[in-house]
């Protein structure tokens, strides 16, 4: 069976998704959406730096809907609920890098998306490296532990090599601390909070309370990464924690810590582990660290591409499963096991 796929935007994650779709034996790339006017009409392969594919990117949504695609791989910089509903109502499954279960978008939006998926007879699935694959692995680790009491998860990265660092301006990076930026993090990063729902559903945790905490790190000097300026005295790092509690328990049962810094020498200076550290407290305790290294590590771009590959591949790998899933909003908690696909080196 081959599933026809449209790639929705060709930004950092989208470009790697295109490479993953082309390499996957069960997927066929049939189109791409261009948000930027200058990308409209350009060859998708050329936009992704891999040479001509004979498929043009287009900003004509009706034209893309008419391609008869099974799935859209949706990776614009922000989710647009209207567009997602249009795709779902049009009978196209959606895998997305910026949603988990849509709870954070509010009850009305979630209801609309669920209704659109039911109307189209298709499903929506959100993943990435984290939110997505990494917290799914952390939850799976509890499988080997009797009476597990707690799953803790830490993402700890220096994002100064992250090409899309400018996207953090909507979290207040490069600005002076202000409570409005804490609220922005709650909202913009709402799909991180949704990971607690997925892990809770996987592990049968009756969540009774959630907590969100945020600390900032400030740069003492002016710095710039990929054209994004962060002046002295402004936010250049943040530690964000999402916790889930059960009734009568003082300690969180599920805890997601995310520590991002833009370079060294911030105040305070947090230790950075460059990857994911996951721990299960139970009998036995379980611990693992997940780190990545590029297959070819010759240029800084190899590391940048790798970070986008690990975001896009959990989506690409999920497409066949999502296309066969029951209609509605789907998560790792209710889909069958999603795996990679062996590609012989011929
Ligand atoms: N779950 C995870 O692990 C994870 C990890 C990293 C990123 N993400 C998410 O993945 C998404 C894509 O990240 P990225 O680094 O690839 O982002 P990006 O390159 O900055 O942006 C992706 C594309 O969004 C489109 N775009 C830009 N401004 C827009 C606007 N105002 N309205 C609609 N579309 C617009 C552009 O499309 P064109 O190419 O057509 O111009 C752009 O190439 C983000 O939402 C990010 O939060 C998730």
Tell me: the pLDDT tens digits for 4-39?
A: 999 999 999 999 999 999 999 999 999 999 999 999
Q: Give mean pLDDT, residues 118-132.
A: 97
Q: Please report, for residues 1, 140, 206, 332, the alpha-carbon distance to residue 202 in angstroms, rounded to integers and kept in the order given.
A: 29, 8, 11, 8
Question: What distance in angstroms lies between residue 14's CA and the mean position of ligand 1's atoms?
Answer: 8
Question: What distance in angstroms lies between residue 46's CA and the mean position of ligand 1's atoms?
Answer: 18
Please give the sequence-ordered ranges of beta strands (E in DSSP) within 139-181, or none if there are none: 146-158
Residue of minimum CA distance from atom 43 in ligand 1 = 11
Give the mean pLDDT of the chain. 95
Q: Give mean pLDDT, residues 52-63.
A: 97
In percent, the amount of the chain with pLDDT more than 90 equals 91
Atom of ligand 1 nearest to the CA of 12: 16
Residue pair 145/282 in contact (Cβ under 8 Å)? The answer is yes
Residue of minimum CA distance from atom 45 in ligand 1 = 77
Residue pair 151/254 in contact (Cβ under 8 Å)? The answer is yes
- pLDDT reported for residue 345: 74
* Nearest alpha carbon to residue 181 among 140, 147, 214, 218: 214
**Tens digit of each residue's pLDDT (9 = 90 or more) over 194-246:** 999 999 999 999 999 999 999 999 999 999 999 999 999 999 999 999 999 99
Candidate of 36, 40, 76 to mutate for ligand 1, largest count of ligand atoms within 8 Å of Cβ: 76
Going by pLDDT thresholds of 50, 70 and 90, the confidence category of residue 274 is confident
* Nearest alpha carbon to residue 3 among 326, 327, 312, 320: 320
Residues flanking ligand 1, CB < 6 Å: 9-14, 34-36, 39, 75-78, 97-98, 128-132, 164, 167, 311
- pLDDT reported for residue 24: 96
Question: What distance in angstroms lies between residue 274's CA and the mean position of ligand 1's atoms?
Answer: 22
- pLDDT reported for residue 346: 58
In this predicted structure, the answer to whether residue 300 has a pLDDT above a threshold of 90 is no
Atom of ligand 1 nearest to the CA of 167: 20
CA-only gyration radius of the chain, Å: 20
- pLDDT reported for residue 344: 80
Atom of ligand 1 nearest to the CA of 191: 1
In percent, the amount of the chain with pLDDT more than 70 equals 100
| CA gap 127, 186 in Å, rounded | 19
| CA gap 212, 280 in Å, rounded | 20
In this predicted structure, the answer to whether residue 281 has a pLDDT above a threshold of 80 is yes
Question: What distance in angstroms lies between residue 93's CA and the mean position of ligand 1's atoms?
Answer: 19
**Tens digit of each residue's pLDDT (9 = 90 or more) over 158-187:** 999 888 899 999 999 999 999 999 999 999
* Nearest alpha carbon to residue 69 among 31, 96, 33, 17: 31
Report all structural domains of the chain as residue ranges with CATH numbers, in order of start: 3-126+307-330 (3.40.50.720), 130-291 (3.30.360)
């Amino acid at each position: 069976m081959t599933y026809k796929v449209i790639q929705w935007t060709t930004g950092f994650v989208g470009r790697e998704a295109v490479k993953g779709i082309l390499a996957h034996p069960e997927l066929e790339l049939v189109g791409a959406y261009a948000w930027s006017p200058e990308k409209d009409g350009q060859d998708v392969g050329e936009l992704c730096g891999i040479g001509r594919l004979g498929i043009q990117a287009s900003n004509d949504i009706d034209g893309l809907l008419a391609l008869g695609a099974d799935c859209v791989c949706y990776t614009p910089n922000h989710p647009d609920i209207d567009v997602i509903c249009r795709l779902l109502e049009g009978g196209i499954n959606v895998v997305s890098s910026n949603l988990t279960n849509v709870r954070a978008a509010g009850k009305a939006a979630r209801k609309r998306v669920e209704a659109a998926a039911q109307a189209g007879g298709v499903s929506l699935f959100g993943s990435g490296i984290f939110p997505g694959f990494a917290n799914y692995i952390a939850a799976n680790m509890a499988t080997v532990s009797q009476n597990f009491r707690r799953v803790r998860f830490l993402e700890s990265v220096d994002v100064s090599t992250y090409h899309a660092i400018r996207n953090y301006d909507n979290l207040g990076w490069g600005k002076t601390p202000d409570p409005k930026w804490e609220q922005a993090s709650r909202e913009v990063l709402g799909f991180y909070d949704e990971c607690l729902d997925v892990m809770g559903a996987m592990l049968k945790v009756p969540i009774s309370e959630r907590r969100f905490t945020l600390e900032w790190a400030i740069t003492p000097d002016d710095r710039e990464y990929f054209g994004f300026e962060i002046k002295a005295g402004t936010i250049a790092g943040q530690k964000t924690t999402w916790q889930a509690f059960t009734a009568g328990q003082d300690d969180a049962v599920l805890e997601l810590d995310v520590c991002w810094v833009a370079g060294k020498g911030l105040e305070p200076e947090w230790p950075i582990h460059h990857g994911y550290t996951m721990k299960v407290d139970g009998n036995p305790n379980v611990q693992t660290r997940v780190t990545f290294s590029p297959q070819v590590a010759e240029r800084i771009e190899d590391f940048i591409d790798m970070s986008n590959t690990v975001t896009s591949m959990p989506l690409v790998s999920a497409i066949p499963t999502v296309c066969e899933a029951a209609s509605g909003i789907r998560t790792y908690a209710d889909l069958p096991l999603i795996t990679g696909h062996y590609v012989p080196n011929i």
